[in-house]
Structure 1
Amino acid sequence: MRILLVGEFSRLHNSLKEGLLALGHEVVTVNNGDGFKNFPADISIRARFFKSKLGNIPRQIWFRIFKYDLALLEHGIRFWMVSKKLKNFDVVQLINESPIQTVSKLELFLLKRIFKQNQKVFLLCCGIDFMTVTHLLQKKERYSVMNAYFENIPEAQKQFDYFFDFIAPPHQKIHTYLYENIRGVIASDIDYVAPLIENKKYLGILANPINTDKIVPIENIISNRIIIFLGINTGNSYKKGISYFEKALEIIQEKYSEKIEIIITKDIPYSDYQKHFEKAHILLDQVYGYDQGFNALEAMAKGKVVFTGAETEFLNHYHLHEDEVAINALADVNYLVEKLSYLIENPKEMERIGKNAIQFVRKEHHYIEQAKKYVAVWETN
């Protein structure tokens, strides 16, 4: 099959591409690199002019006056320039409801062109979109990535502005068009099942594909200090509950200063992020999750002990026990301190969890096996 993967946020499409290529399919990715993460693309629509020194000046002025980013417009223009090449694919998959990341009218225009030029189009639900925001605002879950918003934390509110873009009238037109025309929507992990479960276009959950052939496990053996790594993306720190990790680390630093080394980074490229977590024994990923995202899974495949979403729903789905493959992170500083303290004082537990994590990712997330599942869904819908 000829397959077009549009958009990228977590390296999901790049890993899926690797699995599909191994199966003999022809695959093309088109995306903007997702900002500082700088993910690769076969066809890049990254904003270059408005992120250059020359273009950044009018970009900043325009944003202050009109409150939208000209770099988004450039994404759309660059996609339009290559759109004639993006045709006659057997399958197109969109990373989410706004895979091009441009202004709404242009996004809709370009998506319509993709549908017109290709046979089957599928949608992924692996982040914020109309369905997830609508669901989260109903407060049906025990907690969610919107906790900080609901708690009216003043400095957090700006991080949630873009959530409401997905339920505003301009985006609702995109959402409606997509759900009228897609063959189906796929959830990438348990966090996205609840918003979709009653939707007639929902095709099920397909776990994140991880290229474990490229990831060399590192034995979590403690020879000196235990290294704890927290990589912060300041744009979504409240969404992930990072402040709970930061407060817990302050206590842990004081309590175990001679036994540990703490590494904290902010907004670094994905390649640099990988270098840091390779050195770490423990990785702090996110508090507000029921299942693991891409960064957590890649760290688990390395044999790290990851504090992330590993809730009861996840354990039941994969028939696992508590603390078997990861530590379920909660919005409770004392709980996080207790869990970290136990690991620091019982390093053999880190070895056990790390080995289990490697086997779990290989079994449930292997990129070729997951690619086979995607192909099966595409072929039967």
Structure 2
Amino acid sequence: MRILLVGEYSRLHNSLKEGLTALGHEVVLMGNKDGFKDYPVDIYINQSFQNKFLHKFKVGIYKLFGIDLGSLEIAYKVKKKLTSLPRFDVVQLINESSFSIQPKAELKLLQFLKTNTNKLFVLSCSYDHSSVKHMLNNGFTYSAMTPYLNDRSLKDHYKFKLQYLNKDFTTLHHYILDHTNGIIATDMDYHLPLVGNSKYRGLIPNPINTDKIDYLPMDLDGKIKIFHGINSHAALTKGNAYFTEALKIIEERYADKIAIIATTNVPYKDYIQRYNNCHILLDMVYAYDQGYNALEAMAKGKVVFTGAEQEWLNHYNLEEDSVAINALPDVAYLVEKLSWLIEHPEKISAISLQARAFIEKEHHYKTIAQHYLKTWTKF
């Protein structure tokens, strides 16, 4: 098969590409590298209006004429690149808004992509119409929208998420339902909002290339190292403040037993290097399932505080605290769980081994690539 993967979040499409390539398929990855994370892509597509002057010029043109120059540029570059390439058997988009441009322009690009492929699929692995609507309707006990639901003065902070419910994005969403071969969810946070949707093709777990990620045996002779990496742009929606407050208490209580490593807004390559020596990694609170950073850390054998809700335990037939620690928006609870691990380091070793085994069983990149091929072929 010739496959085009459009967009990249958290290295998902890179790992899928590695699995598909290993199985003998030809894969092209197109995207904007996801900003400061700087993920590899084969075809780099971004807009030129990055510096202050050009950005102001773009905004001025939009205010005067309603024309988004950035969207026009992205659309032009995509069409120019793809017109020179042979037809693809499958095109898969990372999101309903995979080009990060105006929804009307996204819709036109979807129409163009349909003329260049036999099958077009869309992933639900970040905010989109279905997931945001589900969160706002209190479909989850807690979610990335919880801070907003508790404090509507945060509306400006949530503009990016709330936009998926506006008229243009809703039109784009319904076009995707009507004109693509289906939507695939990558974890429970996106699976649950899609249950019952006629175009939903099921949950396919995030692929992890364990051939590239070595398991790092736990060395518990010295202090227990706790890593907390913050992306300031997503800190509120991930619930990082709960970890910060819990760590203050833990640091005071176990000063002689622990070492805390904290980072903010570091590129992906630096991020993964900085947590290599930790025992415990604090990922996110507002989630039912693990995102990519958590999964890669689990593959290395880290004990990760992340989404591990009962729905996820049921799906994979797991016991609580067996391969990851469910992080809740409760400082006292987080302190209790951290204290349990610090006072019982043998639990760290056990969870470490079980976490790696879980990733190899449920997230191996070649197995996941086969799941995608089966789904693409079926629908």
Pairwise TM-score range, normalised by the shorter structure: over 0.9
Q: Matches of 2:77 and 2:41 in 1, distance apart? A: 13
Match of 1:168 in 2: 166
Structure 1: gaps (5+ residues): none
- Give the CA deviation at 1:153: 6.7
Q: Matched residues, percent identical?
A: 49
Residue 116 in structure 1 maps to residue 97 in structure 2: no
- Distance in 1 (alpha carbons) for counterparts of 2:354 and 2:177: 39
Distance 2:213 2:132 in 1: 34
Residues 37, 72 of structure 1: alpha-carbon distance in 2 compared, 3 angstrom cutoff: farther
Residues paired across the two proteins, number? 376
Alpha-carbon distance change, 236 to 153 in structure 1, aligned in 2, over 3 angstroms: farther
| Aligned CA-pair RMSD | 1.9
Q: How much has 1:86 moved relative to structure 2?
A: 5.3
Contact between 1:50 and 1:59, CA under 8 Å: does it hold in 2?
yes
Q: Is the 8 A contact 1:245 1:333 kept in 2?
A: yes
Q: Deviations over 1:113-151 (max 9, x none)?
A: 001121100111111111111111111221111100011
**1:20 CA displacement:** 0.2
Contact 2:18/2:209 (<8 A) preserved: yes
Cα shift readout 1:321-368 (whole Å, capped 9, x = no counterpart): 110000000000000011111111111111110000000000000000
- Tell me the TM-score normalized by structure 2: 0.94
Q: Which segments of 5 or more consecutive residues in structure 2 lack a partner in the other structure? A: none
Who is 1:237 aligned against?
235
Query: What secondary structure, in the 3-state scheme, does the structure 2 residue paired with 1:185 have?
Result: strand
Secondary structure, counterpart of 1:193 in structure 2:
helix
| Most deviating of 359-368 and 345-354 | 345-354
Separation (CA, whole Å) in 1 of partners of 2:62 and 2:179: 32
Distance 2:365 2:173 in 1: 29
Q: Distance in 2 between the 1:74 and 1:65 partners?
A: 14
Equivalent AA in structure 2 for residue 114 of structure 1? L
Q: 1:233 deviation in Å? A: 1.1
* Residue 197 of structure 2 corresponds to residue 199 of structure 1: yes
Which of 50, 57, 65 aligns to 2:53? It is 57
Contact 1:230–1:263 (8 Å) recurs in 2: yes
The answer as to whether partners of 1:228 and 1:281 remain within 8 angstroms in 2 is: yes
Name the amino acid aligned to 1:58: L
Matching of residue 323 in structure 1 with residue 321 in structure 2:
yes
3-state SS in 1 of match to 2:296: helix
Q: CA deviation at 1:164?
A: 1.6
Cα gap change, 1:358 to 1:69, in 2 (>3 Å): farther
Q: Show CA shifts across 1:185-211 (max 9, x none).
A: 111011111211111011111000000
Counterpart in the other structure of 1:100? 99
> What secondary structure sits across from 2:28 in the alignment?
strand
Structure 1 residues 275-294: aligned runs within 5 Å: 275-294=273-292
In structure 2, give the amino acid aligned to 1:5: L
Taking structure 1 as reference, are residues 158 and 260 closer, same or farther at Cα in structure 2, changes over 3 Å only? farther
State the 1:72 CA deviation. 6.0
